């Protein structure tokens, strides 16, 4: 209740800076009430230590939200674009350095193996110094890596650069996704999560298009050089138009030692995230990596038609990611993901054993709609499960460790196909993988629409 002789509300000040002699009451947005005596030494009730009072949230502006989301999605799209450029230009790169295709795949292995290192380094940086500077640095280093790739003078240097790119790629998803998910409106978190995650599919498609139109013997260097331009533009966008995450400001750690202690306290959550992402990556790699080979060996599909097929299935992936992300905002993250995984299971007969090529294309479209639809929920789901103070590092490291654990999936499928044929191998392995993915999804905890930064 307001005390006698209280000044107008416009003149109220915090007790530490009070100049009034008479007692009066401060109301801090309904959080607590403080009565200050004439001497300013007695407080009734005792004043809460100001260090324990949470900082009031600052609502991001529309431009800030859009810019943060665009920067995060651009980074993930460019990472996928650069990664798949090596896949599509494998033969040309080998011809430039006089290496076999098998030798050039060592660059892909180097990139893959060092992604968890990047997730650890950039994630810790994002939790200690902020999401925004970590993302800007990551985008700038991406530009350096892709320019260095284009200028590589020897194959050994090329391998070293691709390892460095693996560190950069590994760090991008965690900080980009955390910044975007902390900025976007809660009611749209799922659908925007789906769009953000499908930046990977879009990057794959853009790499295929760039290779199809521009790649000639030796011109792969030009494509890598041009890839640095959008990265620099994304870094500029983040620098000039994105504000630091208010959630990070209210929950940041004071040292890397504190981050390590917090990480250890949530070690089992990290283990779950790594295994969950292993299952999700197995579902993605299991339906994508060997499918072009399956089309070639079983159906005799040529290079041009395989490119068309990739474009159609990528459209399915993007639409599925957005749609399943959208319904996850309404029915929950785990239910939406389980629905999509179940849909993928039902699509296996059409996807692997279709009697005609048009039906096979339809099966591929639906399969990627479902699998990447489940994937679309991942950024929001992991961000909501993670503690505020570890959102830059924990989901990203769990994601990249899952990638590493799932890396052998194409090799296992390839070896089994020698004995059982591609259709039966693809179908059989995906039944097992999708069952694991559904189980890992359901045993996890869900924090749909969690309020970030709430102390």
Cβ-contact 370, 186 below 8 angstroms: no
Query: CATH 1.20.1250.20 occupies which residues in the chain?
Result: 62-254, 267-386+408-448
CB half-sphere exposure, 454, CA atoms < 13 A: 6
The pLDDT assigned to 30 comes to: 37
pLDDT in tens, the chain (455 residues): 444 454 554 444 444 444 443 444 343 333 333 334 333 344 444 444 444 444 555 688 999 999 999 999 999 999 999 998 998 888 889 989 999 888 898 899 899 999 999 999 999 999 999 999 999 999 999 999 999 999 999 999 999 999 999 999 999 999 999 999 999 999 999 999 999 999 999 998 898 888 877 766 558 999 999 999 999 999 999 999 999 999 999 999 989 999 999 999 999 999 999 999 999 999 999 999 889 889 988 899 887 788 788 889 999 999 999 999 999 999 999 999 999 999 999 999 999 999 999 999 999 999 999 999 999 999 999 999 999 999 999 999 999 999 999 999 998 998 999 999 999 999 999 999 999 999 999 999 999 999 998 75
Residues 6+ apart with CB under 8 A from 72: 135, 175, 176, 177, 179, 180, 196
For residues 107 and 105, what is the distance between their CA atoms, to the nearest angstrom? 5
| Measured CA distances, 270 to 94, 387, 396 (Å) | 38, 11, 10
Residue 54 region by backbone torsions, left for phi larger than 0, else alpha for psi between -120 and 50, else beta:
beta
Q: In this structure, what token pair is assigned to residue 194?
A: 């789906």
Q: At what angle do helices 267-288 and 422-443 cross, to 10 degrees?
A: 160
| Measured CA distances, 221 to 21, 130, 168 (Å) | 75, 34, 19
From the list 239, 209, 120, the residue with the least C-alpha distance to 173 is: 120
Domain 62-254 is found in CATH 3.40.50.720:
no
pTM score, two decimals? 0.84
Class of domain 267-386+408-448: mainly alpha
For residues 143 and 115, what is the distance between their CA atoms, to the nearest angstrom? 17
Cβ-contact 293, 413 below 8 angstroms: no
Cβ-contact 341, 374 below 8 angstroms: yes
The pLDDT assigned to 176 comes to: 96
The pLDDT assigned to 38 comes to: 39
The pLDDT assigned to 88 comes to: 83
- The set of long-range contacts for 55-64, using a CB threshold of 8 Å and a minimum separation of 24, is 55/249, 55/250, 56/29, 57/246, 57/250, 57/453, 58/246, 60/183, 60/243, 60/246, 61/243, 63/241, 64/183, 64/241, 64/242, 64/243
The pLDDT assigned to 209 comes to: 85
């Amino acid at each position: 209740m307001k005390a006698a002789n209280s000044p107008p509300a416009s003149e109220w000040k915090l007790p530490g800076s009070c100049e009034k002699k008479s007692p009066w009451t401060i109301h801090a947005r309904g959080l607590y009430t403080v009565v200050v005596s004439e001497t300013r030494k007695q407080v009734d009730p005792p004043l809460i230590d100001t260090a324990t009072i949470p900082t009031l949230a600052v609502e991001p502006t529309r431009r800030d939200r859009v810019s943060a989301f665009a920067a995060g999605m651009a980074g993930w799209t460019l990472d996928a674009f650069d990664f798949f450029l090596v896949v599509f230009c494998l033969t040309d790169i080998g011809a430039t350095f006089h290496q076999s295709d098998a030798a050039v795949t060592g660059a892909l292995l180097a990139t893959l193996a060092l992604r968890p290192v990047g997730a650890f380094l950039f994630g810790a940086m994002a939790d200690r110094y902020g999401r925004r500077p970590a993302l800007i640095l990551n985008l700038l280093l991406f530009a350096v890596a892709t320019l260095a790739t284009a200028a590589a003078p020897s194959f050994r240097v090329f391998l070293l650069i691709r390892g460095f790119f693996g560190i950069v790629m590994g760090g991008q998803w965690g900080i980009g996704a955390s910044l975007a998910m902390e900025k976007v409106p809660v009611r749209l978190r799922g659908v925007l999560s789906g769009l953000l995650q499908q930046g990977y599919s879009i990057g794959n498609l853009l790499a295929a298009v760039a290779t199809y139109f521009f790649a000639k013997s030796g011109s792969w260097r030009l494509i890598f050089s041009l890839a640095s331009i959008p990265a620099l533009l994304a870094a500029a966008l983040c620098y000039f138009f994105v504000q630091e995450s208010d959630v990070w400001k209210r929950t940041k750690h004071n040292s890397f030692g504190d981050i390590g202690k917090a990480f250890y306290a949530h070690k089992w959550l990290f283990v779950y995230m790594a295994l969950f992402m292993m299952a999700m990556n197995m579902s993605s790699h299991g339906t994508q990596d060997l499918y072009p080979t399956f089309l070639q060996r079983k159906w005799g599909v040529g290079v041009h038609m395989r490119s068309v097929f990739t474009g159609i299935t990528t459209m399915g992936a993007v639409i599925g990611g957005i749609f399943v992300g959208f319904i996850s905002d309404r029915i929950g993250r785990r239910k939406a993901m389980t629905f999509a995984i179940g849909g993928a299971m039902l699509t296996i007969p059409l996807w692997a054993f279709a009697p005609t090529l048009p039906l096979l294309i339809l099966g591929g479209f639906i399969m990627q709609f479902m699998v990447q639809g489940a994937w679309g929920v991942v950024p929001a789901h992991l961000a909501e499960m993670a503690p505020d103070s570890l959102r830059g590092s924990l989901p990203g490291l769990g994601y990249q460790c899952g990638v590493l654990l799932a890396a052998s999936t194409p090799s296992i499928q390839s070896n089994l196909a020698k004995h059982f044929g591609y259709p039966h191998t693809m179908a059989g392995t995906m039944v097992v993988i999708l069952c694991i993915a559904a189980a890992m999804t359901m045993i996890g905890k869900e924090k749909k629409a969690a309020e970030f930064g709430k102390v």
